[in-house]
Amino acid sequence: MKIDRRTVLKTIGTAVAMPAISRSAMAQATDTIVIGGSVPLSGRAAETGLNVNNGYLTAQKFINEELNGVEVDGKRYKIDVRLFDDASDPARASTLIQRHLDDGVQFFLGSFGSNIVLPTAAIVERAGKPMMQTGGASDQIYTQGYKNIFCMFPRASRQLYNTIEYFAALNPAPKSIMFAMANDAFSKTLAEGAIAFGKQKGLPINDIVTLPENITDASSLVNQIRSKKPDVLLATTHDQNSLLIARQLISSNVDVPLLYLSLGPQLKSFREALGNFANGLYFQQFWDERSPYKDAIFGSAQGFATYYHKHFKRDMAYHTASGAACIVAYVHAMKAANSLDPAKVREKLAALDVESLYGRIKFTPEGDGDPLYLGSTVGQVLKGNAEVVFPEASRTAAPTYPAPTWAQKRG
């Protein structure tokens, strides 16, 4: 099952074509639509949490300052995004979300990390309020029967189908593939889904290693790689864990022809931390500002990127775009519902099928992103840049395989 987000948008015309949202307003927006939530602006998830946060804030800023708000049921409203710093702590996030509910907030944005989204999603679900989020993709979130939780990503077990298709197409074909998964809900499910699909494709998955949720020493994994010499290592780990693994492989001079770190190399800060050693690393990539997506609010993916770079100094990542798309989804749903009633907005979110700056927004009946339209592509670091290398129709650059050795990169 090859998933090509660009080709899908070009060849399948079933998505609802939403008219551009006018920049002119007959009346000044005075009332507000409050959208509450928490994000990790500090703690171990802060690197990506800041990207999500900036995506939310970019959409708020553009809608309020460039469009003079949004019109719903004949009245114009400004968007008021109210975000707490949950410090990467699920317990703190739960307390903060409950505080929003006590204050009467009707609409929610999610944090980053399935370990945080899981408990906060349960709270807003019980309250019957919708939550748009771009940080919780663990299957566990979408098997609870929730009706109010929506995500810009497919559930974890479906995210790496394109990666497996790429492995199956490699030349020379890999003779051995090793998986290493961090022991957290998202990372385990991400790996397990890819392993199951890889076995269906007949790939030689010979070793599966489980790592601690927070890795402080990757020497055991490095030793196994040195001993077994896999052609491919796919590690489903978060940014800091991925960086630790890469650094210990480099310092030990242990090479892998194809090193895939699901989260980490997408970030410019990660690539800068490794310098030339980052080149050749693979990762999952959900969005690129060069994508040809159209958007009723920002005009296009590039329009969003241009606006972001004009107003924010922090480098952009795909979580920035998906964060902005959460607000865009809310706007489309509110306008379609012609109401700010949470139940009516939730119904329109569930039925949403619209092209956006992030791609075609469409959810499964359980609320996660449709894997055909919101699934990941395969990225690789080339000349210090994050490029899309598969599917072929989505390429921004041709892949390098096998990757240069650490010794060659030192040279």
**Predicted confidence (pLDDT) per residue in 18-67, tens digit:** 556 655 444 565 799 999 999 999 999 999 999 999 999 999 999 999 99
Question: Which pLDDT value is given to residue 14?
Answer: 41
Which stretches in the chain have pLDDT values below 50? Answer: 1-4, 6-17, 24-26
Question: Which pLDDT value is given to residue 3?
Answer: 42
Q: What is the pLDDT of residues 331-371, one digit of tens each?
A: 999 999 999 999 999 999 999 999 999 999 999 999 999 98
Question: Which pLDDT value is given to residue 371?
Answer: 87
Q: Dihedral sign, CA of 92, 96, 98, 102?
A: positive
Question: Which pLDDT value is given to residue 150?
Answer: 98
Angle in degrees, 0-180, between the axes of helices 219-228 and 239-252, rounded to the nearest 10: 50
Question: Which pLDDT value is given to residue 5?
Answer: 52
DSSP assignment string, 155-211: -GGGTTHHHHHHHHH-SSPPS-EEEEEESSHHHHHHHHHHHHHHHHTT--EEEEEEE
Phi, psi (deg, nearest 5) at residue 319: -65, -25
Structure tokens at 186: 């998202």
Question: Which pLDDT value is given to residue 335?
Answer: 98
Question: Which pLDDT value is given to residue 292?
Answer: 87
Cα–Cα distance measured from residue 245 to residue 119, given in angstroms and rounded to the nearest whole number: 29
Would the pTM of this model clear 0.85, i.e. be above it? no
